[in-house]
Structure 1
Amino acid sequence: MNQPSSLPHSPTAENGPEAPLAPGRLLYQLRKGHKPEPVSLQDLANSARYSKGYLSKIETGEKPLTIDVARACDRALNTGGTLTQRVQHEQADRLADGTSPADVCPYPGLASFEPDDAAWFFGRERATAKLISRLAGALGEGGLTVVVAPSGSGKSSLLKAGLVPALKNGALPAPGSRHWPVKIFTPGQQPLQTLLDVLHRTTGVSPDLARKALHRGDHVLGSLLRARRRLLHQPVPPSDGDDAVHGTVRPVLIIDQFEELFTQCGQDTQREEFLSALHALVSPAHRHGAAVGPAALVVLGIRADYYGHCLTHPRLAAHLESGHLPLAPMSPADLRAAVTEPAARAGLTLEPGLVDVILRDLGAHRTATGPDCTAGALPLLAHALRATWQQRTDNTLTVRGYDLTGGIHQAIEATAERVYTTLDPAAREAAPHLLLRLVHLDHDGRATRRRLPLHPLSDHSPDPAAAQTVVETFTRARLLTLDTDHVAIAHEALLTAWPRLNQWITDDRDGLRTRQQLADAADHWGSTDRDPDLLYRGTQLAMAEEWAERHPWTAVAQMKDYLLASRDREDQEQRREKRSVRLLRLAVVALSALLVVTVAATSSVFFMREYARAKETQTRLLKARIAEQAARRQAAEQEAQLAEALSDPPVSVRCPSVVPGESSNAGWCAAMGGKLLSGKVPKDLFTHRSK
């Protein structure tokens, strides 16, 4: 990639002075001289998101090169800002001559002011001075500097167009501070990796080495960066006539939209590591008994409604006690300056009464002593001013032109609707799919912006060509912002000020939440070497698969791999469960059979026992019956014998062993009818006694 160190010139005479190239001619030469190979006009059109015919007319001088087109071409050709500088120089030359280029708009619209827009940035001078003062104190004391304000209050513009130019102008009381590297970035989905990449570009410490140092402790990373900073301690080359000075090169890191740490980073571990790294950067140290200050200066910009999230992290909360810098609403005087000063700098004329109408609609007309601006209204103001500039008469911004835009509260809606309705049918169909992917729902269900890589965003749309048309058209209208390879909604005000987009969000809120949860789960799964315990299952998997089936173009490769792995694991578990059920059924059958056998055996034992008892009882009864029968037979025989004895004459015989007259007649014997009778015999049985 070529990065010209100076602007090319072309001779105006054979040996005469050289004049700067016209912007269009410069664009042509940069395109043709691009390394490693020239860039065709069609390729440039695809990368810069402007039509081939429009860029061709710029190169031939039929169309002027605007600042927006210059920035887009600088990104596409990686020129290091050469074209942007040429346009700015040309604008400055015209302003110095008392003329104004008709194509220069000093109002950024929904997009925030950039460092290159510092010439148009007014109304925040006091806030910039406070910010510089706080950073000056952090040179020795360390600590984070945190700018807190509601959405739409101008935090990003203050950091980019207020703080950065002040730092570049040497506002910090430190030798060579104007040469310190200044980097602006947002946390994104992988805040720690983003921070380590920025440190690598500013200090030369590799991300792997910095990560290893961080894992060994915050102080280890801080010591590593301070040691690297001492190596960078060297004379700073003179600039703008200044003498060379000796100073320590200390990076200044500006982390805008810090709330992304809570809205887009879904991993608690990475969030904590990121905060630990910040703590290491801003913690002061001592060497040989002397304070050496922090390894870097760090400034955060965060929405006020996420301030509570910061307080839940002890280290971050500790820095907020001393580094908290609330950004108050702009006063009516500041708002008036923000409207009038850029117009005057650009050579524009404001129709009498226009500023009063704008401030009235903004809500700042009721008092002249205190702020009375509705929170979050600055994007509405900037967009209304830009739309009014587009309706200008010559170089005059008029009340009629302002009314045509819809004013403060309808200008965004009017612009968005106009851009949307001018799209062809395919692009209109692609618009909701693309714009909703740029929306993020936080834990409380609030819609915020989401920054995504450009090419995956368009490639995973139902119609990639139509999606590119949407990006190009909305970017030209300043409703989207596009940098080298990322795209985002210009400001969160668009999410509520454009009813159509707001309705899309409402209708697809469940789908947005499912997509976000799936994306976070897939990222976490990928960062943990695809831990199978993190896969979806059951109802959660079914819901994610249903969403992916309805949005097949939305799921990126990581999400698709995650769903496939989840489905494979679910199928395996279901197969294992089926096998377990079959084994359980077999076990139940076996146990049932065993139970039958056991019951049968138990019943058999019980039956045999009862049978034995019955047999024994029967035997006992039989014996008793036999004995009874025997007794009856014996009694019958005795009775028969007795009857026979009574029928014969009585004969008595005295037995010698018997004593007559005893109560017991045992031992008596009597012969009756020639038979012998023994046993008890009554006394009166005998009629004769032997003498």
Structure 2
Amino acid sequence: MGRHENPLDASEGPVAELADALRRLRRAAGSPPYHQMARLCSYSVATLSRAASGKQLPTLSVLLAYVEACGGDTAVWEARWRQASEALAAQQSGRGNPPYKGLARFDHTDQALYFGRDRLVDDLWALTCERRVSALTGPSGSGKSSLLRAGLVPRLRGWQEGPWRPSAIRIITPGERPLSAHGPLLPPPGARPSAVFLIVDQFEELFTLCHDPVEREGFVKALLADRGPSDGLRVVLGIRADFAPRCLDHPGLASVVRDASLAVTRMTSAELREAIVGPARAHGLVVERALTARLTADVADNGSALPLLSHALLETWSRRQGRTLTLDSYEQAGGLHGAIAQSAEGVHARLDTVRADITRQILLRMISPGSGGAPDTRRSVTRAELESLGESREIHEVLESLTRARLITSDGASVGLAHEALISAWPRLGDWIERDREKLRFQRWLTEAADAWDAVGREPGVRISPVRLAQLDAHASRAGGSGLTALESDFLAAGLDTHRRTLRARRTTRAMGSLLVATTSLAAAAFWRQRRLFQEHRRGR
């Protein structure tokens, strides 16, 4: 290893640029020999030399050891490494379609990339064939949505014969108005002898997003209704495990959860390896054995880590070396628990002040804050709901940035978080939620109340409780009117107008009452005075 190294062409990319900077740092430190640097840290001469070779991005720990051995500022260099890592990921992310989904769920078109769940798909298919209404339960992050869409749906479509061969397969999520939105999809009694399979994914939205008990009860009753012997409707519910107790409060749902449900179990080591290696193999790629072993160990004790695993694999793929996904690339991406935060922070760091604030408002719109110990959950928002948060061009740019980073997904009309794992895995988002938790609760109430008001034709005379009105008015005043949609602003203005008219009417009533009391008192006084004079006059006579 010579004392002098030739400078690299920094224009060749972020790896070469960082390596060239490391070489200049070493020269500024007097070009210490690598064997001398190795004695100051736990890395070998070859590892330190390779860090400045420009052939691949070194891991963060190696880079910091190199910098410390040369007397550099580790905090400054850590920031430089992260910039280089993000630039490399952006540079490589366009090289073909990724074999991994990141935080997004697998859909029915992703069957070729869906590995490791054959046993559970068999069990779910058998249960669906046996029971008219069945349920799939599991914690957040266990892969329920992917199992329903990429596992069960292709199996149903391949069903070629028998009385339950599907004539239609429909996938819905309850949303805020489940009966109004999806009631027409449910066949009336006896109207359809052929089989219709209705998959209700994210059934917990019935409790987190729908706050109308009439809508909720009507939707459940429609799903569970016995339509007679000619009924061809089969229903499969995807329920998050922590909301299963809520289902037990309803007799019909309780029997489904108790007698016709399948729990999503943790993947075995063999299934995990297949989920890691299978998609890469389908794309002609190789996963380094050390990486497979590390990932299997990282995920083995966490049954809800599949979104973290998928996102870490996606980021590892974007940093791959040739056809190989390496352990070094995995560590550069931030590992199982750091990849999501690193990706999200990378997006946030590239935003200016205005767009960063719009990003915060957009993401908080996609949160339904938990209460009473219930966890925070995601909610879909329409693009129209986001139009009031800034200029349309800026909102579009922010949404595009979040979508490219696979932090949010969009079906055209609505957008939402790619997965609820983002809430706990990105500390900045968690801090935003905690700081604005009460404001979020008011915001959700306002959004739902305004939508209901709009649905009935914006009738005048909106009545809002004085306490709630004062809180929302104060919130709107502090925000300067920003952060409210046009509909929410109109609803709040109508409520305030009704409240003011009510106060004026009360003041008028009180004033009239006071005048009546005063008039009555004067009349009574005059009467008694006249009576006293009359009595005195009689005594005088």
Matched, 1:430 2:358: yes
Displacement after TM superposition at 1:312 (Å):
2.0
Structure 2 residue aligned with 1:581: 510
Post-superposition offset of 1:175: 5.1
Aligned partner (choices 78, 81, 97) of residue 104 of structure 1: 97
Is the Cα contact below 8 Å between 1:110 and 1:478 reproduced in 2? yes
Question: 5 Å matches for 1:485-524?
Answer: 485-524=413-452
Paired residue for 1:402, among 327, 330, 348? 330
Q: Is the 8 A contact 1:458 1:468 kept in 2?
A: no
Aligned residue number for residue 650 of structure 1: none
Given candidates 476, 480, 492, the residue that maps to 1:563 is: 492
How many angstroms apart in 1 are the aligned matches of 2:307 and 2:107?
14
1:285 and 2:222 matched:
no
Q: What residue number does 1:592 align with?
A: 521
Q: 1:133 aligns with which of 126, 135, 155?
A: 126
Contact (CA 8 Å) 2:173, 2:201: kept in 1 or not? yes
Q: Which residue of 2 aligns with 1:157?
A: 146
Given that 2:316 and 2:325 are in contact with CA atoms closer than 8 Å, whether structure 1 keeps it comes out as: yes
> Is residue 309 from structure 1 mapped to residue 246 from structure 2 by the alignment?
yes
Which residue in the other structure is 1:393 paired with? 321
CA 1:605/1:360 → structure 2, altered by over 3 Å: closer, same or farther? farther
Identity over aligned residues, as a percent?
36
8 Å Cα contact 1:113/1:157 also seen in 2: yes
Q: CA deviation at 1:183?
A: 1.4
SS of 1:500 mapped into structure 2: helix
Ranges in structure 1 where 5+ consecutive residues have no aligned partner: 1-100, 204-220, 231-247, 287-291, 365-372, 616-691
SS of the residue 2:237 aligns to: strand
Of 208, 223, 238, the residue aligned with 1:263 is 208
Residue 564 of structure 1: how far off its partner (Å): 2.6
* Residue 415 in structure 1 maps to residue 343 in structure 2: yes
Letter in 1 for 2:221: S
How far apart, CA to CA, are the structure 1 residues paired with 2:340 and 2:151? 25
Contact map agreement 2:461 2:495 (CA 8 A) in 1:
no
How far has the Cα of 1:555 moved from its partner?
2.9
User: Counterpart of 2:148 in structure 1: which amino acid?
Assistant: L
Q: Partners in 1 of 2:276 and 2:221 — Cα distance?
A: 42
Q: 1:147 to 1:582 in 2, by over 3 A?
A: same
1:604 to 1:315, Cα distance in 2 relative to 1, 3 A: farther
Question: Cα–Cα, structure 1 residues 592 and 418, in superposed 2: closer, same or farther, change >3 Å?
Answer: same
Q: Deviations for 1:133-192, whole angstroms, at most 9, x for unmatched residues?
A: 111113xxx2x2111111010000101110111111117x62582x52111121111211
1:462 aligned to 2:400?
Answer: no
CA shift in 2, pair 1:457/1:597, >3 Å: closer
Structure 2, unpaired ranges of 5+: 1-93
Of 330, 355, 358, which residue of structure 1 is paired with 2:267?
330
Residue equivalent to 1:35: none
Query: Quick check: which has more Rg, 1 or 2?
Result: 1
**Alignment partners' CA distance in 2, 1:128 and 1:480:** 27
Whichever residue aligns with residue 203 of structure 2, its letter is F
Aligned to 1:191: 178
Cα separation, partners in 2 of 1:561 and 1:197, compared to 1, 3 Å: farther
The structure, 1 or 2, with the larger RCO (C-alpha pairs under 8 Å, 6+ apart) is 2
In 2, Cα distance between equivalents of 1:328 and 1:551: 49
Question: In the alignment, is the contact (CA less than 8 A) between 1:434 and 1:457 conserved in 2?
Answer: no
Distance 2:480 2:338 in 1: 32
TM-score normalized by structure 1?
0.61
**1:181 and 2:168 equivalent?**
yes
**Pairs within 5 Å for 1:345-384:** 345-362=282-299, 364=300, 373-384=301-312
| Root-mean-square deviation (Å) | 2.5
> Counterpart of 1:266 in structure 2: which amino acid?
H
Cα deviations across residues 399-431 of structure 1 (Å, max 9, x unaligned)? 110110111111111111011112244322311
Contact 1:521 1:534 in 2 (8 A): no
Matched residues in 1 for 2:471 and 2:523: separation? 45
Residue 528 (structure 1) shift: 4.8
Equivalent position SS for 1:301? strand
Do 1:181 and 1:251's aligned partners in 2 also have CA atoms closer than 8 Å? yes
Q: Distance in 2 between matches of 1:405 and 1:584?
A: 74
After TM superposition, give the deviation of residue 295 of structure 1 in Å.
Answer: 3.2
Letter of the 2:98 counterpart:
C
Could you tell me how far 1:523 is from its partner in structure 2?
Answer: 2.9
Residue in structure 2 matched with residue 446 of structure 1 by the alignment: 375
**Contact 1:480-1:489 within 8 A present in 2 as well:** yes
Q: How far apart, CA to CA, are the structure 2 residues paired with 1:357 and 1:606?
A: 111
2 CA distance for matches of 1:336 and 1:591?
92
Give SS of 2:102's match.
coil
- Cα distance change of structure 1 residues 551 and 271 upon mapping to structure 2, 3 Å threshold: farther
1:594-673 equivalent positions in 2, closer than 5 A = 594-600=523-529
Identify if the C-alpha distance between structure 1 residues 266 and 340 changes in structure 2 by more than 3 Å, giving closer, same or farther. same
Q: TM-score, with normalisation over the residues of structure 2?
A: 0.77
Q: Does 1:254 align with 2:191?
A: no
- What are the superposed Cα offsets for residues 417-461 of structure 1, whole Å, 9 maximum, x if unpaired? 01111224432231101111111123436321111122x144221
Q: C-alpha displacement at 1:336, in angstroms?
A: 1.7
1:313-365 deviation digits (Å, cap 9, x = unpaired): 22322333322222122222221221122222221111121111112222x2x
- Distance (whole Å) between structure 2 residues aligned to residue 556 and residue 361 of structure 1: 43
Alignment partner for residue 116 of structure 1, among 109, 113, 118?
A: 109
